Structures are given as structure tokens and as C-alpha cells.
Amino acid sequence: MIDDMLRTPSAVRDAERYTAHNYHPLPVVISSAEGSWLIDVDGRRYLDCLAGYSALNFGHRHPELIRAAHQQLDRLTLTSRAFIHDQFADFCRELAALCGKELVLPMNTGAEAVETGIKVARKWGYQVKGVAPGQATIVVADGNFHGRTTTIVSFSTDADARDDFGPYTPGFTVVPYGDLAALEAAIDGNTVAVLLEPIQGEQGVVLPPEGYLPGVRRVCTERNVLFVADEIQSGLGRTGRTFACDHEGVVPDMYLLGKALGGGIVPVSAVAADADVLGVLRPGQHGSTFGGNPLACAVGTEVVRLLATGEFQRRSAELGERLRAGLEGLLGKGLVAVRVRGLWAGVDIDPTLMTGRQACERLMERGVLAKDTHGSTIRLAPPLVITADEIDHAVAQLAAVLAG
């Protein structure tokens, strides 16, 4: 009888009935949100510990981002790149400065940023490095997640992402993540780029061995190969620095950015690099109708300005240590491994207790939303506006779940 009074069951049934099953969401139906908190259609509150896979780094409906969006909605939303609009230069200039690069190419989704990076690297290889036409290769890591386009899944090692989507795009060499010797051995005269996530998020927030990223930078420089860093999830404050590469003082040749760049309001992505790399593109060779649109640029510029203060990077670093301490206190009490960098954690649950999915379902029942990945691993990535008390609350709920 109580279920008949709730809106959630029917909304879940309708979603299952009328949509393709390309996701397996938790049975919660969100209707509003603010900061770190979500409210479902039946009025129940949940602490968001996923933050849209880092797309909501600044929390839900951050007032400065909402203000920027509202102001732009009242003026201009789309022109296409056939014209220049008054928000475009500010966004590109300020994002380039944040990245320490000369040029920016705005797109929409993270996968588009990756595809753009691949195209630019190949063109650079042919025009600058002198690779023979059609022979360019890119070295990538196993366990990677760069998106789900046909080209990107061609070098995925995840069966769910890859199987039955062939024929696959050639031109990629897969090596073990964190194995510098294997990476160096895979580079030959046709290699134009190494494409890596500085932290593998989808794999379970897997951190590279100390010294690996500086080693990749050294090898790429010595072998005249571009180092392309996919910072779509790890960048823009998530790990306690502006970029995850910053933790080891590494500057890639190309940043791939997305998710948080749109402030949780609109899809915004970008590629940032110097002119000797991005300058290989000419009119008509790459583009997007919505890439760099006025609304996206207005929101994206405000995101860059929030990051320029350093406040969110500091919050992530400081609160991340609190999260680390809380999670490490659960080792041997249901957790078998914890990996934390800033406000980003991969948590491995004892598989004899429960799966990651079961843990997330039980957390949901206790008012905390998280996401599982690969068996008994869950990811925690709360908005950077979360408070210390809210972190303690999330850890306490996880402890209760593990205790049964």
C-alpha cells in the first residue's frame, strides 16, 4: 500500500520500458538538487558521492555558474562556429592560461575531446614528425576508459565496451598501465602519441606508480612523441591540484578536458595545447556545430575563474585527507584496499561480503549515492563543495553497510 503512494516505482518502470538499456542505474529518481545533496521524487534526501563522474565538481547548481547560465540564456545561446560570438575569446584565453598552453579547441563531450586529440596527434605526426601517410600509431594503456565512440572502443580492453562493435579502428598499441619499459618498447618511428589517463577512473581510481608519469614525459620528449593526458575525469580540481599530472610536476603536450568544464549545466569539453601542435588544423578539417557555443563558453569561463582562485583545489586536497583517513579506518573491516587522490577514491570491498553493486544499493537505502565498477569496487567522487561533516557521514554509512 505504501508503494502505491510513492512515485519512484512507476518512474523506474517507465524508464525501463521506454529507454534502451545502455545503463544500469540505481532505482532512485532525482527531482532536485543543491550543493552536495539530491532529493528524489518522493522527497527523500541523498548525499551525492559520485558528482556526475566529476562533471559536478562544483556541486549542484553552484550560484555563480547558474548566474552565468541565466545571463547568457537571456542573450544568446548558439551561433555555430560560422561566426564569432562575444563569449568565445574570453573562454579560450582564460582556459589556455589555466592550462599553461597557447591554444584551445572547444568541443562538447569528453569523447569528442579524445577524438579531437587523436586526429590532431595523427595530423601532427604526418605534417611535423614526417610519418608516412596512413601509418601513424598511438600507444595507450590497458584498463583505459576514454569514451565509447567506435574508434575509442577499438583500443579498449573492457569487453563490455568493446565486444560486438567491430570492425575496429587500427592504429593503436596497448601496453600495461604503469609499465614504463613496455611503453618505451612499443614506441617506434610511426608512433605519434602516448594517450593516457594520469589516474584511471573507470578502472577503480587506479593510481600510477610513483615516477611513471615523469618517465612517460621523458620518453615522449626523447622519442619525439606527443604526451596526451586525458584529464576529463581527473582534471579541474578533482585530485587536489588543477590537473592530476601536477602531482608529479608533469606537463603533457596536450590536455583533454571535459565533465567539470561545463559546471554540471551544459556539456563542454576542450583540447588545450601549444600552437606547434593544435596549429596543424586548418579550416574545414575539424569542427562541431555546438562546440564553443555562447552558453557553453559563458559557463566554462566561470568554471575557469572558480578554479583560478585555487579554492577548490585546496578543498579537495584537505578534505581528501579526511576521506582517506576515514576509509583507511575500514581496512580489515570489510575493505581490502583503498586508493585516494584528493576527493576521488577507489574502494575495494571484500568480495566475500558483497558486490560493488550491492554495496551501492545498500548505501542508497542509507541516503548516500555512489557507483560501482568492476566487481566489488566502488568509486567515491563527491562534489568539491562537500563539508567535513558530510564526508564523515558518508564514511559512517559505508561502515554500517560493511558491518551488515
The residues annotated as belonging to the active site are: 145, 230, 259
Q: How far apart are CA 265 and CA 269, in angstroms?
A: 12
Closest Cα partner for 381 from 57, 132, 142, 128? 57
Long-range contacts of 62-68 (CB under 8 A, 24+ apart): 62/263, 62/264, 62/306, 62/385, 64/302, 64/306, 65/263, 65/264, 65/265, 65/299, 65/302, 65/303, 65/306, 66/265, 67/302, 68/298, 68/299, 68/301, 68/302
Count of beta carbons in the 10 Å neighbourhood of residue 210: 9
* β pairing state of 103-107 and 269-273: antiparallel
To which residue does cell 564553443 refer? 292
Residue whose entry in the numeric block shows the C-alpha cell 557507483:
371
Cell numbers at residue 154, please? 577499438
In sequence order, which residues have a C-beta less than 8 Å from that of residue 147 and are 6 or more positions away? 109, 110, 111, 114, 115
> Please, what is the angle between helix 356-365 and helix 388-403, to 10°?
120
According to DSSP, the residues that pair with 256 across neighbouring strands are 230, 271
Cβ atoms of residues 256 and 197 within 8 Å: no
3-class secondary structure, 76: coil
Calculate helix-pair angle for 311-328, 294-308, nearest 10 degrees: 70
Residue carrying the nine cell digits 566529476 = 54
Contacts of 40 (CB under 8 A, 6+ apart): 8, 28, 29, 30, 31, 46
Is the N-terminal amide bond of 283 cis, ω within 30° of 0? no
The Cβ-side half-sphere exposure at 281, using a 13 Å CA radius, reads 20
Q: Hey, how many other C-beta atoms are within 10 angstroms of the C-beta on 313?
A: 21
